[in-house]
Structure 1
Amino acid sequence: MFKYLTSPLVKQVPLVSICRTKINTLRLGRLPCQYKTYATDSKDFTIPKTRNIGIIAHIDAGKTTTSERMLYYAGVTKRIGDIDDGDTVMDYLAAERERGITINSAAITFGWEGHRINLIDTPGHVDFTMEVERAVRVLDGAVTILDGVAGVEAQTETVWKQADRYDIPRIAFVNKLDRTGAAFGRTVREMWKKLRTRPLVIQLPVMNEESMDERHKGLKAVVDLVTMEMIQWDPAHTDGSVLKRVPLKEVADEKLYTEAVKGRTALVEALAEMDDDIVEIFFDEADGDHMLVKETPLKEAIRRVTISNKAVPVLCGAAFKNLGVQPLLNAVIDYLPSPLDRPSALVTYSSGKTALIPLTDPKLCALAFKVVHDARRGPMVYVKVYSGKINTRMTLFNTTTRAKERVNKLLQMYAKEAEEIPTINAGNIGVIVGLKDTRTGDTLVQSNDTVAIKSGLQLSNIDIPSPAFFSAVEPASVSEEEAVETALKNLVREDPSLKVWTDEESGQLLVSGMGELHLEIVKDRLLNDFKVKAEMGKMRISYRETCQSESDASAEYDKEVMGKRARAACRVQISPLHEDFDQQVENNGLEEGWVANSGNHLSVADISFSDDSVSEKDNQLNPEEVRQAVQNGLLGGLARGAVLGFPLTKLKVKAFDLQTFGQDTTLGAISACVSNGVFEAVKKANPCLLEPMMEVYTEVNENHIGSVVSDLSGTRRGHVIGLESSMGNDDTENSSEDVQVYAPEDSLLVSSDVDGYKPKQVIKAHVPLSSMLGYSSALRSLTGGSGAFSMRVIGYGEMSKDREKSVVSEMTGW
């Protein structure tokens, strides 16, 4: 039994690296108290020994279950948290424990084998995609959890694309192999087919086929193809803390050994295609024998191809049964990058120039990627430090808001618990308390860094998705109005995918979000967390508006504001963007002088002064400030359409012929004039409504296909795209590459000729969001409770004139 240092003067760290030994039997001992690692402990946890990782997956794939096991084996918790019992560390919000899902991306820090792991557990529900987006933005690597029964699901594809955008190295963990119908090989093939990635199988599942009792079938061990050992968990210790490594040659299973040799050969061959170093080792040190390639060079090669995103190592297990989690933690250390292995941070200056800031740069550069309102501590800003370091009581400068901020405290998070620390070093994630105006996506530098401040240094921002639903919020009384507005302001600061505005006609306070569950959580938090008294109205679809023809309009603004005349005039031109315009922009980029915003393209390049009484030289307005004011006016005008006041999209908008009137012309007058010009041009350009379109995946039994397809294409006005088996397609061809992907045969692959089980069929369709309201109960009725579906927003589509009249009548009441 390995002992642990328990002296209060020494950090509680194992005396040995427990999973690196060749000893057969191993007991993962329990620590007498929580094992916490400090962000500032550079002696024990240097940058090369730091891992910033996230767990991403489809809802119910087992993300939180896996995270809880990681914390238990690392010694952070004394018992394994369970979602069903509502006692998980990572899902600590009342709404999360009540619903059994992750809503808030929780961060926690723990140690494993002398390494510091900053872990973020992300939601899998499509309504909380913003939480995934901002977590992925700051990660160095990710663990993708795949359901061994369901395979690659819809939201898995979504989060995979999010990780692709930031070029995040990943490893995959095929979970739930203890369940009937689980198929490791099929899931690997689906990764190749659906995710367009190169899966690199480094583990094989060993299934218990001998038992006649279905309850005891499923995963019983794992074969490590790198070390050619079988990893077994002692069934007498149900917490999975005792494991045994046995060389495969000592296992009396010829079929298993043959498959392992096949897998090891495929692994070395695949690495040889992508890594030159392993080729030299294969011929020079292993004499051309795949079995003689040693463990260390093999791991180094896997690490190189993973960090370069050429391949994704695939592991397997059953987290709920406590199988496979320790090897997964080892893989995080072995294959995922440290902050030093990632590209330097890309920054943009106000001049438009870009540069790379290395991690070793002594000047501070940090990104605020999340804000949480704490009733006791106030706003807590999560930051990733890309260079330099943040100290307690330091004064920061926010280059996004152009404001100074004071650091009161620095915290390291353990889900909902926090520990005060003196410093956050480069490459680490931490929390700042005391920042009043910092929001998600803001860049922070030190207040005395004049070069960064004057140049307007900015890290790349975080994409914020457009909300699809909205609801009215009604304070219970006039005295509650201020409290409701403050609570909503805090919620919007926490979650930028929420939008709050006041309807000009009705005077109602409206809040919009990503989905029904998203707004339901907003309501819960208003009532339970912020303790305000308010009612939320009926859930409505957040439509968009556009124009079907071209137009231009002249506008003049002439008003007296606080005793001073404000005056400006301009012209605005509007035209619709055609369908393939986005593809052309992606291929060729935007035209010079144009910028993209919320699906629109804006131009202020033709702006010039036109004033007979005052020359441009004599005018006190700064040309750069004027252009910014014009752009603000364009954005303000596009925020409200002419049909029902929804935001406008899919338009090209240009302001030109700006006329100024000496001292009467102010920046505010220019913005107001341009905004009015946009509204006038929109009214003349045949405005119409757009509705959110969803990509819907519906999984049903074969005998229910007809009724479900009929419902989707008829009642719900959808367009069915295709139909495929949930078991996946064995065809692993990729049109772009002639690559052979190894995927083992599934010993428990349940196919249609096995009694009692038939694979489900997946119907893919594009359906208007308004037609999907209440679809969950309708699908249960159509399929006798056996159907399931998932959906995501893919854009906005035009609605028919009859449908538009119906929406207008419903929204206006006439």
Structure 2
Amino acid sequence: MKTLNLGILAHVDAGKTSLTERLLHAAGVIDELGSVDDGSTLTDSLALERQRGITIKSAVVAFTVGDVTVNLIDTPGHPDFIAEVERVLSVLDGAVLVVSAVEGVQAQTRVLMRTLLRLRIPVLLFVNKIDRAGAQYGPVLRRIAEKLTPAAVPMGRVSELGTRAAEFTPYDRRGTDCAPNLAELLAEHDDELLAAYVEDEPSLTHERLRGALRAQSRRGLVHPVFFGSAATGAGVEALTAGLTELLPVGEGDPEGPVHGTVFKIERTAAGRKTAYVRMFSGTVRVRDKLLHGTEGEGKVTGVDVFEQGSDAPAACVTAGRIGKLRGLAGVRVGDAVCSEGAARRVAPRQQHFAPPTLETVVTPGRPEERGALHTALTRLAEQDPLIGLRQDELRGELHMSLYGEVQKEVVQATLADEFGLDVGFRESTTICVERLDGPGSAVEIMNKETNPFLATVGLRVEPAPEGSGVSYGLDVELGSMPYAFMRAVEDTVRGTLREGLQGWEIPDCKVTMTHSGYAPRQSHAHAIFDKSMSSTGADFRQLTPLVLMEALKRAGTTVHEPMHHFRLEIPAETFGVVLPVLSRMRAVPQAPVTKGDAYVLEGEIPAARVHGLEQQLPTLTGGEGVLECAFARYRPVVGEVPSRPRTDHDPLNRKEYLLRVVRRVAGA
């Protein structure tokens, strides 16, 4: 059977979970429609999801349209849970982006569409809530063309807009009725169609245009727009038909080499992992041995596949399908899986969304639960790769990175429900990064009085382009010392760069090993191995931070803070009140643009000030201000440079560092 792995995405409250319920009801999967308000929807299974009426965790549910099995993935709309959306994108064949006919194109809608376009994922748009007062047709289409994509193609007309009787009438597939300017839009991507359009050839029939629309939509070149209401069911039948006609479906190759991608991890009540895997090729059966990630492997002890609304045990999962695999103890989100004997394939961990820019300290309700809290948070971080966990062993504190304040409530509820832990949070702080000012190098030579370690390490650091990551290379012969020592230096370099001169991570730089040396293992006959005369991995792990920090000091670093791009629409009469507030918040607005009786301001604002602006805006604008914010870039900090307390043994303070790691100070 053919399959379509479909993502449902939207700004929070646009109605995508309600649309999911309506699609499942129309397909006969559920007998009664669930309600987001009542907490009775099929895909929002978490207690907190039902309480708040929002999606927090992505959920998979299957239904059938003709001969196509649709694996529908309902994703969160709240920007605090963008990590859940992040992991779903790599497994989608197509997406439905839900827009509200009342609120129109919102901040998160634009973020999601930009990402879908960049990844070339075919997208259908569904304009929901046409039955609500204030719903619009033409203005929403114009906003979609202006803010989301100029290649939007309306697929029909709306009648009785803004009433419970609102209906969507699709254009006739076989007649002459079609979207205005359809031929012109399609001709932009088809030279033969363009020639026929210019010459006004008779061959430019409705059937030919419909075929071109189907082909270009499946390639993500144009984006059909449907209107309807998840509440009343208007337009849902047309959207359902459009899923299989306008999005790419396929069967995959069940006989090919096994290859899939893990996009979600759950744990059972007993703590065992369940991996959600999209299969691109091959077939995985119970008891198969699989490789995953760069080094992991395991035997599949159980398989579930999704059928008509729920998952059920199965003997295998085949290409094109989504399955739940048990038995892969070390698997992680983002891992590729393949069969034994095949070349190990690693799924790219490309980040499509902005990094988290907030950090908080999680505190246990009782001191004796600190260990249990660390275990629980490690499991949560394992399920959310973009939500980082940082342990401060010196102070016994656990730091967690966040996208927003709502995540604190979710983590708190999850720890209470799943682990029985009561926790608190400190005030969130902004996460900065450090970037190198220039090159720098340092070296420590073995058997010198100031070096108490049986190791020689020399390192050179150089700036690297933003987003390039940390690269590591050798200016010494690979065989100049044992590989284990080489690996110890590289691993320690990468770990040490998580805290630069001011305590912030250095995400982008080039590090080169320039000097190496070691004391060979003593191997006299009948002699006992003497650590005091032979190098060990610990020598290199403990010396490397000292060398790297000295190289960083000579290179110099600059702290950069995260900046958000903002778009602010305010009544014209409040402009004089809002502008000074933006200035005090260190925002840099561009020239205002007049929009009727309102002003539109765009510019950049430090991420640390966004929450404050959101809180003040209703008072400043009489509740009429509309703010959109999204991460834009990092820029050098202006004014006082923030630092972050170190969580290591502080290799910047050589005397204290040596006292901690070797209990003595060389040369003192």
TM range (shorter): 0.7 to 0.9
* 2:288–2:300 Cα contact (<8 Å) kept: yes
Residue of structure 1 aligned with 2:398, choices 505, 509, 515 = 509
Give runs of aligned pairs for residues 179-190 of structure 1, distance below 5 A: 179-190=132-143
* 1:177–1:219 Cα contact (<8 Å) kept: yes
User: What percentage of aligned pairs have identical amino acids?
Assistant: 28
- The superposition leaves residues 279-336 of structure 1 with CA deviations (integer Å, 9 ceiling, x where unpaired) of 899999x97286x534xx5443222111222211122223233211111111001110
- Shift of the 512–803 alpha-carbon distance from structure 1 to 2, 3 Å rule, reads same
Is 1:631 aligned with 2:490? yes
Is 1:695 aligned with 2:562? no
Q: Give the 3-state SS of the residue equivalent to 1:172 in structure 2.
A: strand
For residues 605 and 23 of structure 2, the distance between their equivalents in structure 1, rounded to whole angstroms, comes to 40
For residues 306 and 576 of structure 2, the distance between their equivalents in structure 1, rounded to whole angstroms, comes to 51
For residues 626 and 212 of structure 2, the distance between their equivalents in structure 1, rounded to whole angstroms, comes to 41
Give runs of aligned pairs for residues 108-147 of structure 1, distance below 5 A: 108-147=61-100
- Deviation for aligned residue 1:138: 0.5
- The superposition leaves residues 617-663 of structure 1 with CA deviations (integer Å, 9 ceiling, x where unpaired) of 7x5x24xx6665443232112111222x2212454443322333334
1:108 corresponds to which letter in structure 2?
V
- Deviation for aligned residue 1:473: 2.1
**What is the aligned partner in structure 2 of residue 318 from structure 1?**
229
- The superposition leaves residues 196-240 of structure 1 with CA deviations (integer Å, 9 ceiling, x where unpaired) of 4522222222345xxxxxx73884332425345xxxxxxxxxxxx
1:438 corresponds to which letter in structure 2?
V
* 1:702–1:761 Cα contact (<8 Å) kept: yes
**What is the aligned partner in structure 2 of residue 603 from structure 1?**
472
| TM-score normalised by the chain length of structure 1 | 0.71
Give runs of aligned pairs for residues 451-462 of structure 1, distance below 5 A: 451-452=342-343, 456-462=344-350
**What is the aligned partner in structure 2 of residue 568 from structure 1?**
455
- The superposition leaves residues 444-496 of structure 1 with CA deviations (integer Å, 9 ceiling, x where unpaired) of 122xx3242xxx33233342853322222223335423321221111011111
- Deviation for aligned residue 1:276: 6.5
**What is the aligned partner in structure 1 of residue 296 from structure 2?**
403
Is 1:202 aligned with 2:155? yes
Is 1:220 aligned with 2:167? yes
**What is the aligned partner in structure 2 of residue 106 from structure 1?**
59
- Deviation for aligned residue 1:73: 0.8
Q: Give the 3-state SS of the residue equivalent to 1:546 in structure 2.
A: strand
For residues 279 and 550 of structure 1, the distance between their equivalents in structure 2, rounded to whole angstroms, comes to 54
- Deviation for aligned residue 1:547: 4.0
1:696 corresponds to which letter in structure 2?
F
| TM-score normalised by the chain length of structure 2 | 0.85
For residues 315 and 761 of structure 1, the distance between their equivalents in structure 2, rounded to whole angstroms, comes to 31
For residues 292 and 553 of structure 2, the distance between their equivalents in structure 1, rounded to whole angstroms, comes to 39
**What is the aligned partner in structure 1 of residue 407 from structure 2?**
518
* 2:27–2:65 Cα contact (<8 Å) kept: yes
Is 1:655 aligned with 2:513? yes
**What is the aligned partner in structure 2 of residue 288 from structure 1?**
202
Looking at both structures, which has the greater relative contact order when contacts are Cα pairs under 8 Å and sequence separation is at least 6?
A: 1
1:795 corresponds to which letter in structure 2?
R
- Deviation for aligned residue 1:436: 1.3
2:624 corresponds to which letter in structure 1?
S
For residues 517 and 509 of structure 1, the distance between their equivalents in structure 2, rounded to whole angstroms, comes to 19
- Deviation for aligned residue 1:557: 7.8
For residues 134 and 329 of structure 2, the distance between their equivalents in structure 1, rounded to whole angstroms, comes to 52
**What is the aligned partner in structure 2 of residue 706 from structure 1?**
576
For residues 474 and 432 of structure 2, the distance between their equivalents in structure 1, rounded to whole angstroms, comes to 30
Residue of structure 2 aligned with 1:439, choices 326, 332, 341 = 332
- The superposition leaves residues 169-211 of structure 1 with CA deviations (integer Å, 9 ceiling, x where unpaired) of 1111222333454443333333343334522222222345xxx
Structure 2: 5+ residue stretches without partners: 522-533, 647-668
For residues 470 and 279 of structure 1, the distance between their equivalents in structure 2, rounded to whole angstroms, comes to 53
For residues 378 and 638 of structure 1, the distance between their equivalents in structure 2, rounded to whole angstroms, comes to 33
**What is the aligned partner in structure 1 of residue 504 from structure 2?**
646
- Shift of the 551–54 alpha-carbon distance from structure 1 to 2, 3 Å rule, reads same
- The structure 1 segments of at least 4 consecutive aligned residues displaced by more than 6 Å after TM superposition are 276-284
* 2:362–2:426 Cα contact (<8 Å) kept: yes
* 1:395–1:405 Cα contact (<8 Å) kept: yes
- CA RMSD between the two structures: 3.4
For residues 701 and 217 of structure 1, the distance between their equivalents in structure 2, rounded to whole angstroms, comes to 32
Give runs of aligned pairs for residues 436-585 of structure 1, distance below 5 A: 436-446=329-339, 449-452=340-343, 456-463=344-351, 466-555=355-444, 567-576=454-463, 581-582=465-466
For residues 227 and 98 of structure 2, the distance between their equivalents in structure 1, rounded to whole angstroms, comes to 10
For residues 398 and 71 of structure 1, the distance between their equivalents in structure 2, rounded to whole angstroms, comes to 33
Is 1:766 aligned with 2:636? no
For residues 20 and 306 of structure 2, the distance between their equivalents in structure 1, rounded to whole angstroms, comes to 15
**What is the aligned partner in structure 2 of residue 426 from structure 1?**
319
Residue of structure 2 aligned with 1:274, choices 189, 193, 198 = 189
1:164 corresponds to which letter in structure 2?
L
* 2:3–2:250 Cα contact (<8 Å) kept: yes
- Shift of the 326–413 alpha-carbon distance from structure 1 to 2, 3 Å rule, reads same
For residues 533 and 264 of structure 1, the distance between their equivalents in structure 2, rounded to whole angstroms, comes to 57
Once the two structures are overlaid, the 10-residue window that deviates more, 84-93 or 460-469, is 460-469
**What is the aligned partner in structure 2 of residue 159 from structure 1?**
112
**What is the aligned partner in structure 2 of residue 388 from structure 1?**
282
Residue of structure 2 aligned with 1:77, choices 25, 30, 38 = 30
* 1:89–1:415 Cα contact (<8 Å) kept: no
